[in-house]
């Protein structure tokens, strides 16, 4: 018994049991998890974006308290989803993942210009502010007494006063001030909007909303800011020559009391509510009087009038004023469709597909007569799979025809990248999206417009070339500093460098610095002049337009090379060239799936944005302006603290 016990004990001592298994470590998310997360987000976007876009579309095309509530609620729900999703994405920060998944993660975090706070109440407040500010812009009116009655004018009607050459400078200053007064009421809203978006940006890891915006360019925010400064330095000489030339012409017309020889130009005299493009004053600065240059407005208006005559002829009897108004609206609508089809024809001629039938059924091409709308032109991809539309109030004029070509550029970009996953359905950078349609407008040469029957077919002489280039420069070159300064102002506002107490002062300092423009009437901090430009209350980043006005010429040069064109760049027309069209479509189909440097290289052969093409394009005009400006004092001195009242000069 004792021996047995001893043996049993020895056997037990010699037995080696394996140590207990250690608890499983939490290894965290994997690359596979990251792939699934992005796949789920893409699926969510396909479901959620159509509802958000529909709510915003209805609010923009039918402004009421009800549609404002719908849009606000949709925005709030979207921001809640986006905020939560971006927060969830942070758990993959240290995961090594595929290039596409990593890029999708970054694009997700930068997918909104309005970063939402995590706090639900603040998200709701931000959504309501955004909808309210946009509605204020769309319904804004200037009311004034006329013949003992109050007359209230919308933006389009106010602009007609501003651009009427028969109006005095003072009358135009009053119209200018009338529209700018509509934005006073959103000053406090915008201040709060900045506070809330900055909080959202900080929660996402950015210093402020401006830094977040500058992070969307495949380079550091600091490097991007240097890049915009480099590009501005390239094009600044073009603008300074144009400013000097135009100021000299306006000074000769109005005298020193209205336009000084060496100062800033009063904003109301440049033919545009924001003095951002100056083509409406072409007749006042035309280089060679009487020498033909292309203006298609008369031909477009003639088409519209012919349409009206047909409708009146088909009408039985004499129409009442109401019936005639209906017929005029029908003529306007028919002309709007005709002009849109002119633009569509250009795209299809180089190989793009025809627009979907639903485009013409659902787009808003004309200002409705029964409701307030946001007439600011915009392009919409409603569902990421073919429901594309534009919203604008088309007039039978050259500006609208160019704008339609621009907006269809957005539409065709959307259609080209629709096969990609939702997070890749975007531009290589936002400047690309703005440049596509404008690139096409560079082919609307005098010869091309003659083929359309919108201009004379006779060959241009050198003087006519200068006149034509001046007309283009008043849009393309005049815009450059304005395109840069809007976000310069907002970046400073978001960072706190411009405080709420300096909103208007900071705005006009930048407009003077970059544009050499001054307000027509004294301004104060009771005003909120930045808010009179749609993109500020609409919270649309604006540097994209500055970039687009440079790279569109870079794109055009590459397309002309692909088409085998050998003449001066300003004469190139790629209409009907399938080789150029294929190269364009190949670039657009990449969407946001690659860094913009790779996408740019695909079309142009270079990875750097460059202004040399725009300088090449305007070579004849630049030589002319330098000669004309020889005896002028170019540059500008600071504007006086108070703007003198303009005398009643009749034009």
Task: State the alpha helices, DSSP H only, in 427-577.
Answer: 430-441, 446-451, 462-495, 503-510, 543-562
Helix then strand then coil, in percent of the chain rounded to 5, is 60, 5, 35
347 annotated binding-site participant:
no
**What is the rounded distance in angstroms from the CA atom of residue 156 to the CA atom of residue 2?**
113
What are the C-alpha distances in Å from 254 to residues 67, 168, 191, 247, 268? Answer: 46, 10, 39, 10, 13
Record the tokens describing residue 580, joined without a space. Answer: 């150029």
Residues recognised as catalytic: 407, 535
Please say whether the dihedral angle defined by the alpha carbons of residues 252, 256, 260 and 265, taken in this order, is positive or negative: negative
544 is in an annotated binding site: yes
Has 406 been labeled as part of a binding site? yes
The answer on whether 329 is annotated among ligand-binding residues is no
Q: Which residue has the tokens 């006149």?
A: 467
Spatial distance between the Cα atoms of 510 and 533, rounded to a whole number of angstroms? 15
Cα 243 from Cα 264, distance rounded (Å): 9
- Give the C-alpha separation, 50 to 62, whole Å: 18
- Does 410 show up as a binding residue in the annotation? yes
DSSP line for 409-464: HHHHHHHHHTTS-GGG-S-SSHHHHHHHHHHHHTT--HHHHHHTTSS--SPPPHHH
Please count the CA atoms within 13 angstroms of the CA of 28 that sit on its side-chain side.
9
Pairing state of beta strands 517-518 and 265-266? parallel
The first and second tokens of residue 235, run together, are 């094009």
The tokens describing 205, both together, are: 């890891």
Three-state secondary structure readout of 137-191: HHHCCEEEEECCEEEEECHHHHHHHHCCCCCCHHHHHHHHHHHHHHHHHHHHHHH
For residues 570 and 466, is the Cβ–Cβ distance under 8 A?
Answer: no
Residue numbers belonging to the annotated binding site for chloride? 217, 544
Residue numbers belonging to the annotated binding site for Zn(2+)? 406, 410, 434
């Amino acid at each position: 018994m004792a021996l047995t016990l001893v043996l049993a004990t020895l056997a037990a001592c010699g037995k080696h049991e394996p140590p207990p298994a250690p608890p499983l470590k939490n290894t965290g998310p994997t690359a596979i998890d990251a792939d699934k997360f992005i796949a789920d987000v893409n699926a969510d976007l396909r479901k959620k974006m159509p509802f958000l876009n529909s709510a915003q579309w209805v609010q923009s095309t039918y402004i009421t308290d009800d549609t404002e509530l719908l849009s606000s609620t949709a925005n709030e729900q979207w921001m809640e989803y986006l905020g939560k999703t971006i927060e969830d994405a942070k758990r993959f920060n240290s995961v090594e993942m595929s290039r596409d998944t990593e890029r999708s993660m970054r694009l997700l975090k930068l997918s909104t210009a309005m970063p939402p706070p995590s706090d639900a109440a603040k998200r709701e407040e931000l959504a309501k502010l955004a909808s309210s500010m946009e509605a204020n812009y769309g319904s804004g009116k200037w009311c004034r007494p006329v013949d003992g009655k109050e007359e209230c004018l919308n933006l389009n009607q106010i602009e007609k006063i501003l651009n009427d050459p028969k109006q005095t400078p003072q009358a135009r200053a009053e119209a200018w001030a009338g529209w700018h007064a509509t934005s006073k009421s959103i000053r406090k809203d915008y201040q709060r909007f900045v506070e809330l978006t900055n909080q959202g940006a900080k929660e996402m890891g950015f210093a402020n909303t401006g830094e977040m915006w500058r992070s969307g360019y495949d380079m550091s925010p600091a490097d991007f800011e240097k890049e915009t400064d480099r590009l501005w330095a390239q094009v600044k000489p073009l603008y300074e020559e144009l400013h000097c030339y135009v100021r000299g012409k306006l000074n000769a017309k109005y005298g020193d009391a209205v336009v000084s020889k060496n100062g800033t130009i009063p904003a109301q005299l440049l033919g545009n509510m924001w003095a951002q493009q100056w083509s409406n004053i072409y007749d006042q600065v035309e280089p060679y009087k009487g020498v033909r240059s292309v203006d298609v407005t008369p031909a477009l208006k003639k088409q519209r009038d012919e349409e009206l005559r047909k409708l009146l002829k088909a009408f039985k009897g004499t129409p009442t004023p109401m019936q005639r108004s209906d017929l005029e609206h029908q003529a306007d609508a028919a002309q709007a469709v005709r002009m849109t089809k002119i633009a569509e024809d250009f795209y299809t001629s180089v190989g793009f597909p025809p627009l979907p039938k639903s485009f013409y059924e659902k787009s808003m091409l004309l200002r409705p007569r029964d409701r307030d709308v946001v007439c600011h032109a915009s392009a919409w991809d409603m569902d990421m799979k073919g429901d594309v539309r534009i919203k604008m109030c088309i007039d039978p004029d050259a500006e609208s025809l160019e704008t339609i070509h621009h907006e269809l550029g957005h539409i065709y970009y959307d259609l080209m990248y629709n096969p990609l996953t939702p997070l890749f359905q975007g531009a290589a950078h936002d400047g690309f999206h703005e440049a596509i349609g404008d690139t096409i407008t560079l082919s609307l040469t005098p010869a091309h417009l003659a083929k359309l029957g919108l201009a004379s077919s006779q060959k241009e002489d050198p003087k006519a070339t200068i006149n034509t280039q001046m007309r283009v420069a008043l849009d393309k070159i005049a815009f450059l500093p304005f395109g840069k300064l809007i976000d310069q102002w907002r970046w400073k506002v978001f960072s706190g460098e411009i405080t709420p107490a300096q909103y208007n002062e900071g705005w006009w300092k930048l407009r003077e610095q970059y544009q050499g423009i001054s307000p027509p009437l004294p301004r104060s901090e009771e005003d909120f002049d930045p808010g009179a430009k749609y993109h500020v209350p609409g919270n649309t980043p604006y540097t994209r337009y500055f970039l687009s006005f440079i790279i569109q010429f870079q794109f055009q040069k590459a397309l002309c090379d692909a088409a085998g064109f050998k003449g001066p760049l300003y004469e190139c027309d790629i209409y009907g060239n399938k080789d150029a069209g294929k190269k364009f479509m190949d670039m657009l189909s990449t969407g946001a799936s690659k860094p913009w440097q790779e996408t740019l290289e695909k079309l142009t052969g270079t990875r750097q944005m460059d202004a040399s093409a725009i300088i090449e394009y305007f070579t004849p005009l630049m030589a002319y302006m330098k000669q004309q400006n020889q005896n002028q004092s170019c540059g500008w001195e600071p504007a006086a603290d108070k703007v003198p009242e303009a005398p009643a000069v009749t034009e």
